[in-house]
Amino acid sequence: MCKRLLPLLLLLLTPLSLWAWGADGHRAVGKIAEQHLSRRAKREIQKLLNTETLTMVSTWPDEVRYYPEFKETAPWHYVNTPSGLNQEQYIQQLKAQTVPNAYSAMLAQLAILKDESKPQAERVAALKYVVHLVGDVHQPLHAGHAEDKGGNDIKVKYRGKDTNLHSLWDSGLLDYQGLTYTEMATAYNSKLRGRAIRKMQAAAPEQWLWESYQASNQIYQDTPNNADVDYRYYPAHADLMQQRITEAGVRLAGMLNKAFS
């Protein structure tokens, strides 16, 4: 087999469960963010992306992570911490981690994006990572427990098929809706009001992760190992899923508006 085709084959064979929010979820985050950008941010983003959009570049970090030259980015997509932490303990652990993770990668890429002395190619890649990682840190199981690899070791049966808790929240619940990413973004964005937007954007990135960690704790309680998830699961958790995707889009816009201000 041609060595140049091997990474592509690996990408095609990789299970979707490794994609936080799935492709449609990430694109919905990008689409929502585009509705809340300042004029200046829109101009600067267009200079960097040319004909591409936040929506379409939102999946790029997942698409390239399996190529050898990007293998070091694999840990950038999640932050695993022990269970049972309070807010102060959690934020201390978050800031103290020395291994690469979504939190440190997001802040590092944001710094590159804001640095106009950096080569344009680096800033373009940094923008793509920021778009993606803001989405990742809002997926509760990407801030899950280290002891079960963010829910990957929690086995569940969903719609008659064997899967795991992490995969269920990455894509299973989104797929259940039957919406395109455009329909998702339009529906979620229509519920937003100015005060809610300002409140979402006022929270610091550490708070975003704490919210995901708290949400994951509830999800763990609701979904024990070997649970057979039935038709009642989606209605019980749909609001949380929609909330986290909406917050990710609004906060991404706020982060980019500030970066380009």
In tens, the pLDDT along 151-185 reads: 999 999 998 899 999 999 999 999 999 999 999 99
The average pLDDT across 119-135 equals: 98
pLDDT for 5 beyond 60: no
Q: What is the pTM of this model?
A: 0.92
What pLDDT does residue 12 have?
Answer: 37
Domain boundaries, the chain: 14-259
Q: How far apart are CA 108 and CA 224, in angstroms?
A: 35
Residue type, 63: E
Map tokens 């992490």 to a residue: 166
- Residues 229 and 131: beta-carbon distance below 8 Å: no
What pLDDT does residue 167 have?
Answer: 94
pLDDT for 42 beyond 50: yes
> How does residue 18 score in pLDDT terms, banded at 50, 70 and 90?
low
pLDDT for 17 beyond 60: no
pLDDT for 115 beyond 80: yes
Whole-number mean pLDDT of the chain?
92
Q: Which CATH superfamily is domain 14-259 in?
A: P1 Nuclease (1.10.575.10)
What pLDDT does residue 16 have?
Answer: 39
The average pLDDT across 12-23 equals: 58
Strand, coil or helix: what is 54? helix
pLDDT for 7 beyond 70: no
In tens, the pLDDT along 64-95 reads: 998 999 999 999 999 999 999 999 999 999 99
Longest CA–CA span in the chain (Å) reads 56
The average pLDDT across 118-139 equals: 98
Sheet containing strand 227-229, edge to edge, reads 161-164, 155-158, 227-229
pLDDT for 100 beyond 60: yes
What pLDDT does residue 139 have?
Answer: 97
What pLDDT does residue 63 have?
Answer: 95
Question: Which of 9-23, 96-110, 134-148 is predicted least confidently?
Answer: 9-23
Closest CA to 164 of 225, 222, 106: 225
What pLDDT does residue 20 have?
Answer: 76
What pLDDT does residue 13 have?
Answer: 39
